[in-house]
Chains A and B, each alone.
Chain A
Amino acid sequence: MRLFTVTAFYSFRALFRWLSPMPYLCFRALFPLAQLGFFALIGTYGGGQPLSFYLVGNAIGTATLTAFGVSQAVADERQQGTLSYLLAAPAPRVPIFFGRAALHVADGMINMIAALAIAVMVFGLRVPVDGIVGVVVAMLVATIAICGVGLLLGAVAYIVLDTAVLANFAMFIILLLSGANVPLAELPGVVAAIAQGIPLTRSVAAARLYVGGASFDAGIGLLLGDLALGAFQLARNTSPT
């Protein structure tokens, strides 16, 4: 537990070099908000779906940024020359690597709450009071699922050196295929089937249900699906190689 906590704290702190808060504000707040505004305005111009479709989709979609932090926390070990020590250490790897994802879950939640607040205050999104708990749970599930992707990318970074490119790939594929911006029904059959394997697909759908006024039970199945997918990716990451 101590190893988990220490790892979580220091890896998160080191990632953004907390001597100055500007990098954090830029990468984890401004970027997702700019992304939300950009796609929401394209959606408005396209007129294919109501504005709330794009606002909810992209508010949940800001979770994809979490994958950068998680994968980078792992990849930075290599860049700083500490990866070999980490792997050779007798400390168990699960708390070490899960610890690196832990604070990113909280951070991803903050990102999404900020994005949702902008969606409500700037774009006039209406979230029914009954749906707030559901939306928050959808956000939590989305962040956990994306952390699974981040750790998977971190593991792939043992082989592929450029983690930033990997995380960018993951982000755009998820934004395209999760239904955040394009309804799954409009995608070609094979691509729509692949989309079902994307973490976030169900969280986005569940959040839309809750914003639309559905009961909490209505989205539970969807959220459990994304949670299972995230857990599967976490398990793949921690399996012996």
Chain B
Amino acid sequence: MTAALRLARQSAWVNFQEVAVNGFLLFAVVWQPLFVGVTTMYMLRHRADFDPMYVVVGTALSGIWSTLLFAGSGAISHERWTGTLELLAASPASFFVVIGGKLAGTTIFSLGSLVLAFGIGTVLFGYPVKIAEPGWLAVSLLLAVVALWATGMFFAPLAILWRTVGRFLLVLEYPVFALSGFLFPVLLLPNWIVPITNLLPPYWAAVAMHGAASGDLDLSGLLRAWFFLLLTGGVLLVIASRLFVEVLTRARRAGTLALS
């Protein structure tokens, strides 16, 4: 257990240094949330009940989601392209733990979106950003980050097992923003879509974080959101662990660990 944690920590640290200078992920963490946040702030501020914290939380979640979506769907194929997949497969260290640590590093990096989102509200627009329940928001953020990391872990083998699915994953950015209610309530969506949103960890992340930030959810409501956040994230993680085994089995069998 200790060895696995040490491995995950090392993998996270190495990956953190790598993504911190990756132009595309920097864009996903900094610039995209900036544009989304500023645009949304302009679009929603006409509401009589406008709460800038709603945009701040939604913007932060959009940045975290985009980063994990892109990093997650490319986590294993990146190893193949850089020629390290063979080494990872042959190593006695757990492949699942290495990639898990790697995505943990990306997840920590993606939290930069949260800092930026607060900056948009306070510095650019000059709104006094008030958090109704800071403690509950911190717990919600922690659980949201874990569940979104699990979603990224689910995408990693999926993108490499079925390449068509992998390409489809890359366009899930806006649909998940919409289906999860990051920046508008899902009740605006057609009725038949709403049950689907309940299956998504990002939806429960948005429910918990918006609820804690605005104070609209009481503790029982938050506990429900946290429960479903962990449940949906946990289910994806279990499926991911099976898929990771399948990735290595297939790659060994087909001789496709390396590109050449």
Contacts and interface: CB of A to CB of B under 8 A. Distances in A.
Interface stretch (B31-39, B91-99, B131-139, B235-243): B31-39
Contacts of A182: 39, 42-43
Contacts of B27: 165, 168-169
Contacts of B42: 181-182, 186-187
Interface in B15-62: 23-24, 26-27, 31-32, 35-36, 38-40, 42-47
Contacts of B174: 31, 34-35, 37-38
Given A41-B184, A47-B47, A48-B46, A22 B168 contact: yes
B126 interface: no
Interface residues of A, number: 33
A173 B36 CA distance: 10
B96 to A, nearest CB: 28
B43 A48 contact: yes
B185 A45 contact: yes
B39 to A, nearest CB: 5
B164 A22 contact: yes
Interface stretch (B82-90, B175-183, B195-203): B175-183
B171 interface: yes
A35 B171 CA distance: 10
Contact of A42 (B35, B38, B175, B184): B184
A175 B39 contact: yes
A181 B183 CA distance: 14
B139 to A, nearest CB: 27
B184 A26 contact: no
A176 B178 contact: no
Contacts, number: 90
A42 B171 contact: no
A141 to B, nearest CB: 23
Interface string A9-40: 00000000000101100110011001101110
A38 B176 CA distance: 10
A173 B171 contact: no
B189 interface: yes
B24 A164 contact: yes
B250 interface: no
B254 interface: no
A95 to B, nearest CB: 31
A175 B168 contact: no
Nearest to B184: A45
B35 A162 contact: no
Nearest to A34: B174
A30 B171 contact: yes
B164 A20 contact: yes
Most buried by A among B39, B43, B47, B189: B43
Interface string A154-193: 0000000010110011001101100001100011000000
A31 B188 contact: no
Interface in A38-69: 38-39, 41-48
Given A34-B171, A41-B188, A168-B32, A181 B39 contact: yes
A182 B174 CA distance: 19
Contacts of B189: 41
Given A38-B174, A38-B178, A45 B44 contact: yes
B65 to A, nearest CB: 13
A20 B162 CA distance: 13
Contacts of A30: 168, 171
Nearest to B164: A22
A27 B39 CA distance: 23
Contact of B32 (A20, A162, A172): A172
3 A-B pairs with the lowest CB-CB distances in the bound complex, closest first: A48-B46, A172-B35, A34-B174
10 contacts: A26-B168, A31-B173, A34-B178, A39-B43, A42-B40, A42-B43, A46-B44, A46-B45, A181-B43, A182-B39
Interface of A: 20, 22-23, 26-27, 30-31, 34-35, 37-39, 41-48, 162, 164-165, 168-169, 172-173, 175-176, 181-182, 186-187
Given A41-B184, A45-B47, A48-B43, 15 more contacts: A20-B164, A31-B173, A39-B39, A41-B188, A42-B40, A44-B184, A45-B183, A46-B47, A47-B47, A165-B26, A169-B31, A172-B36, A181-B39, A181-B42, A182-B39
